[in-house]
A and B are shown apart, each in its own frame.
Chain A
Amino acid sequence: MINAEHLTKRYGSRLAVDDVSFNCRPGRVTGFLGPNGAGKSTVMRMLCALTAPSTGRSLVLGHPFRELRNPGHQVGVLLDASAQHGGRTGREMLSVSAQLMRLPAGRVRQIVDHVGLTAREADARTRTYSLGMRQRLGLAHALLGDPQVLILDEPANGLDPAGIRWMRGLLRSFADAGGTVLLSSHLLHEVEAMADDLVIIGNGRILAQGSADQLLAVPGTRVQSLDNDGLLAELIAAGHAADATSDGVSTGASVVDVGRIALAGGIVLIDLRPAEAFGLEELFFDMTAQHGRDEVAA
């Protein structure tokens, strides 16, 4: 459970995060989506008490993060996979945290295996790691204390397609076991594939939030017939929104309704299909177009 309540962060006169509120529920993966510089990382750092909000507050598992005792057992955090001491080995980095959390001896090896790092890779200094290996190490660190909540900033960044598929499975099973996952990304397809809920942010403000199904569902039908004008008139007469397109009719009516109306009107359909789902991509670009980096640069 994560609750962000009116989080606002001001750097001088610049509002980096502006009145951001959302909830992440157990059993669900929440995708935190926005272009670079939208304020995702700042929000996530505020959730973990690493950055103090100017106003507003946030709760993790019902408590402010700062009040969690031994939080590694409750919240797995990966905010920047590159933020590792380059002179430490991956295994040592995990062992230090395991000692701090007082985890049993075999836990580090178990988790190293789980994220798919070889023993040899784990024993190398993190300076030599590729970004993908750093992400796996960071994820291992987040999972180490067997937490109920995961907060992951761009965890799929630097992973190859197989790695992304692997991570999707891992987060899915974590959520299915009752865990709460918040992951950010600026890559739409990653989130589209992984998230149950979406929070879309641009220029520090929340632009949309809700279940992915709900945000992605675009009702409607595209249809071609031998009498497009007649069909258009019948649809409007039946109380549906409808427009003529270059080669047919676009309407808010369902496929079934369009079929029935055409049958009743004796109109021959030659093509009938649901309007293509918008896809998160268009939603994303629509919503962030005026809020993206272009404007910031101007």
Chain B
Amino acid sequence: MSILTAPAQRLEPAVRQSVEEHGIPFARLCLVELRKQIDTRAGLWLLIVIGLVNTGLIVLTLTTAPPAELTWANLTNAASMGQLVLLPLIGVMAATSEWSQRTALTSFALEPRRTRVNLAKLASAGVLGLIVMSLTLVAGALMNVIGIVFRGGDGSWAMDWPVLGGAALALLILVAQGVAFGLALLSTPIAIVAYLALPTVWTILTLFISGLAEPARWLDLNVTLLPIMLGAEVSATGWAQLATSVAVWVGLPLLVGLWRTARRDVA
């Protein structure tokens, strides 16, 4: 390492001028947050694991399913499980790593409006979900071609759009839940365990305690998400039940998290 005593190199005056005075646009904040979700070792590996799991599922379907079932829609569907389970964890880490890795000290020194940063995390995690979903569509299409060529598959290009839309919506809700749990708990292991365990515990409880069966239809995401993921016709009651469960499992922790991070002392 050299010893330099030259003055810090200044930015060109033209550059300084072009730097807007009225703050960082939200879109740029989202892009930066998106980058931060995938530029760490943990984030990158989660994406790789999602890719591997999806590949495994799609290859399994490709090799074992009857040729008549080898369609674009089915293959895409088969490949979507990985992100539904794992992508929300990237959302969790986007929210918690600022505090567990203490990068909040630098992040909030560059954008002191913390809620804005958190909303950018939420938006960018959703965008990442949609990008992964699109890649899955492409992978499904590739596999469909392979199915046609090597297994004489049905090869239908008819996409079941309600199912796909339902899966995309479910993914967005689960990713938002991940971010919300991360913001509310601010610890990666605690938030991941809570995100994975609490809804499952709740579902198990409702199965064993008959009195909870009716509330569960309004308050259990695993139950309320099912109709849209199956692409079924969803009734008004169904949407209301979904909205209620999302409010409890996503909205509530998100509000707690935004409130908590906005006032918390960063150390």
Co-assembled chains A and B: yes
A residues with a Cβ closer than 8 A to B are 45, 48-52, 65-66, 68-73, 75, 77, 79-80, 82-88, 92, 96-97, 99-104, 107, 110-111, 114-118, 125, 136, 141, 143, 145-146, 162-163, 165-166, 169-170, 172-174, 176-177
Q: Are A50 and B108 in contact (CB under 8 A)?
A: yes
Given contacts A68-B112, A99-B35, whether A87 and B7 have CB atoms under 8 Å apart is: no
- How many A-B pairs have beta carbons closer than 8 Å: the answer is 146
3 nearest A-B residue pairs (beta carbon): A169-B5, A69-B23, A83-B102
Q: How close is B7's CB to chain A, nearest CB, in angstroms?
A: 4
> Which stretch in B12-20, B161-169, B212-220 binds the other chain?
B12-20
| Residue in B closest to A82 when the chains form the complex, CB atoms | B102
CB-CB under 8 A from B267, the residues of chain A are 45, 50-51
Given contacts A45-B265, A84-B101, A100-B110, whether A70 and B4 have CB atoms under 8 Å apart is: no
CB-CB under 8 A from B23, the residues of chain A are 69-70
Asked if B40 is at the interface (CB within 8 A of a chain A CB), the reply is yes
Q: Are A69 and B22 in contact (CB under 8 A)?
A: yes
From A71, A107, A136, A177, B112 is in contact (CB under 8 Å) with A71
From A102, A114, A174, B4 is in contact (CB under 8 Å) with A114
Q: Are A70 and B20 in contact (CB under 8 A)?
A: yes
B residues with a Cβ closer than 8 A to A are 1-12, 15-16, 18-24, 28-29, 31-32, 35-36, 39-43, 97, 101-106, 108-113, 263, 265-267
CB-CB under 8 A from A68, the residues of chain B are 112
From B1, B5, B105, B110, A71 is in contact (CB under 8 Å) with B110
Assembly CA distance A66 to B117 (angstroms): 13
From A75, A82, A88, A173, B6 is in contact (CB under 8 Å) with A173
11 A-B contact pairs sorted by A residue (CB < 8 Å): A48-B112, A65-B112, A69-B21, A70-B19, A84-B102, A100-B32, A111-B9, A115-B4, A163-B3, A166-B3, A173-B5
Q: Are B263 and A52 in contact (CB under 8 A)?
A: yes
CB-CB under 8 A from B11, the residues of chain A are 103-104, 107, 145-146
From B12, B31, B40, B108, A87 is in contact (CB under 8 Å) with B40
Q: Are A96 and B39 in contact (CB under 8 A)?
A: yes
CB-CB under 8 A from A45, the residues of chain B are 265-267
Q: How close is A128's CB to chain B, nearest CB, in angstroms?
A: 12
Instruction: Please give 10 more A-B residue pairs, beta carbons under 8 A apart, in addition to A72-B109, A100-B29, A169-B4.
Output: A45-B265, A70-B21, A79-B105, A83-B106, A87-B43, A99-B35, A101-B19, A114-B4, A116-B3, A173-B5
Assembly CA distance A61 to B266 (angstroms): 22
Q: Are B40 and A146 in contact (CB under 8 A)?
A: no
CB-CB under 8 A from A85, the residues of chain B are 40, 97, 101, 103
Q: Are A104 and B15 in contact (CB under 8 A)?
A: yes
Q: How close is A2's CB to chain B, nearest CB, in angstroms?
A: 14
Q: How close is A97's CB to chain B, nearest CB, in angstroms?
A: 6
CB-CB under 8 A from B101, the residues of chain A are 83-86
Q: Are B102 and A96 in contact (CB under 8 A)?
A: no
Q: Are B32 and A96 in contact (CB under 8 A)?
A: yes
Q: How close is A194's CB to chain B, nearest CB, in angstroms?
A: 13
CB-CB under 8 A from A87, the residues of chain B are 40-43
Q: Are A50 and B1 in contact (CB under 8 A)?
A: no
Assembly CA distance A87 to B38 (angstroms): 11
| Residue in B closest to A102 when the chains form the complex, CB atoms | B19
CB-CB under 8 A from A49, the residues of chain B are 108, 112
CB-CB under 8 A from A177, the residues of chain B are 7-8, 10
Q: How close is A85's CB to chain B, nearest CB, in angstroms?
A: 4
CB-CB under 8 A from A143, the residues of chain B are 8
| Residue in B closest to A85 when the chains form the complex, CB atoms | B101
CB-CB under 8 A from A165, the residues of chain B are 3
| Residue in A closest to B42 when the chains form the complex, CB atoms | A87
Q: How close is A175's CB to chain B, nearest CB, in angstroms?
A: 10
Q: Are B112 and A166 in contact (CB under 8 A)?
A: no
Q: Are B36 and A96 in contact (CB under 8 A)?
A: yes
Q: How close is A274's CB to chain B, nearest CB, in angstroms?
A: 31
Assembly CA distance A97 to B39 (angstroms): 13
Q: Are B10 and A80 in contact (CB under 8 A)?
A: no
Assembly CA distance A170 to B6 (angstroms): 7
Assembly CA distance A103 to B29 (angstroms): 14
Q: How close is A160's CB to chain B, nearest CB, in angstroms?
A: 9
Assembly CA distance A150 to B211 (angstroms): 61
Assembly CA distance A173 to B266 (angstroms): 31
CB-CB under 8 A from B9, the residues of chain A are 110-111, 114
Q: Are A99 and B7 in contact (CB under 8 A)?
A: no
Assembly CA distance A134 to B180 (angstroms): 31
Listed residue (B2, B5, B105) with the most chain A CB atoms within 10 angstroms of its CB: B105
| Residue in B closest to A117 when the chains form the complex, CB atoms | B1
Assembly CA distance A125 to B8 (angstroms): 25
Q: Are A170 and B8 in contact (CB under 8 A)?
A: yes
CB-CB under 8 A from A136, the residues of chain B are 1
